[in-house]
Structure 1
Amino acid sequence: MLNKIVPYQERDHDKVIDIWYQAVCHTHAFLTDEDIEFYRQMLQNGALKEVEIWLEVNENNEPVGFIGLDGTKIEMLFVDPQYHGRGIGSRMIRHAEKIKGSHLQVDVNEQNDGACTFYQRLGFVQIGRSERDSSGRPFPILHLVLGS
């Protein structure tokens, strides 16, 4: 049975936090343990309620990745590292495009080479750059938009 994309439900909260944590530890080598804990607390304490979340679930209906949307902006996209390279992120982007249109935007950490390459491969182009992230921390952010 193929994976499917389903709406987030509150019962998935802890698994989504775990996917986020595992993915960040695997892909954000530039963050310290303290940085990761700072962002984890933000997510744990309500950031998930501020976005529209879709999950990709496996054949056992267990979440393996998620995308968080605010209108046409991708606020978060994380895949369990055990499932990296299986097309989950690409499928979630296509799902977002299907429900939100082709003018998707995303901010990505400049130091996260894998994510930068992933979004460029899918047709996103850089339209700006910020020296600090949305929390004011010194992690440069690239602003990308899906090319037309």
Structure 2
Amino acid sequence: MTTDAEGDVTIRRAAGPDARPAADVWLRSFAAALPTVVSPRSDDDIRAYFRDVVVPLRDIWVADAGDGGIVGLMVVNGGELSQLYLDPDWRGRGLGDRFVGLAKERSPEGLELWTFQVNKPAHRFYERHGFVAVEYTDGSTNEEQEPDVRYVWAPKS
């Protein structure tokens, strides 16, 4: 568990009651960051997936702002940073940096992730953290059918 310098936001492992607020952060973040990408799942499907799969079965961490609730989430599956989403009002406050630092601590041998090609702010963010684009696809293998890019981070020897 980590707390920011002002003690306002704690990053901690998610628990059952965090499923709904984490899914809601995901939904708000996806809508704000990717307005042109059409999700093939309904909001209720996303919430059920968080409740039944993500929170109980994945290594999920949340940014908890206390009375402000859950304001960010990160899912790490082994060496894959599979999700990192922040509430739009909480972007630019260092939470993404903290999540990536935690992911690197949990997977010191390296990480990979996928992001959509249209998400240029994500590209800049991950590249700033040492990730390198290694593969571009036409999107035919993801649910959204949206062109994506795979990034890899390897620790410096």
Q: C-alpha distance in 2, partners of 1:59/1:101? A: 29
After TM superposition, give the deviation of residue 125 of structure 1 in Å.
0.3
Match of 2:62 in 1: 55
Instruction: Give 3-state SS (helix, strand or coil) of 1:93's partner.
Output: helix
Report the counterpart of residue 83 of structure 1 in structure 2.
Answer: 90
Q: What is the match of residue 143 of structure 1?
A: 150
Aligned partner of 1:127 in structure 2 is 134
Shift in Å, 1:138: 2.3
Q: Give TM-score scaled by structure 1 length.
A: 0.87
Tell me which residue corresponds to 2:24: 18
Say if 1:110 and 1:28 are closer, same or farther in 2 by CA, change over 3 A. same
Alpha-carbon shift at residue 63 of structure 1 (Å): 1.5
Identity %: 20
- Superposition RMSD on alpha carbons, in Å? 2.1
The separation in 2 between residues aligned to 1:85 and 1:112, in whole angstroms, is 16
Distance across 2 between alignment mates of 1:4 and 1:106: 24
Query: TM-score scaled to structure 2, two decimals?
Result: 0.82
Deviation for aligned residue 1:123 = 1.1
Pairwise CA distance, 1:73: 0.4
Structure 1: distance between partners of 2:105 and 2:140? 28
Aligned to 1:44: 48
Q: In the alignment, is the contact (CA less than 8 A) between 1:24 and 1:36 conserved in 2? A: no
Cα deviation 1:103-128 (Å, max 9, x = unaligned): 11111111111111111111110111
**Change beyond 3 A, Cα 1:43–1:60:** closer
Query: Could you say which residue in structure 1 is the equivalent of 2:3?
Result: none
How many Å separate the matches in 2 of 1:43 and 1:20? 9
Gaps of 5+ in 2: 1-6
Query: What amino acid maps onto 2:35 in structure 1?
Result: A
SS in 2 for 1:123: coil
2:67 partner SS: coil
1:38 positional shift: 4.5
Shift of 1:44: 2.6
* Partner Cα distance (2:140, 2:14) in 1: 26
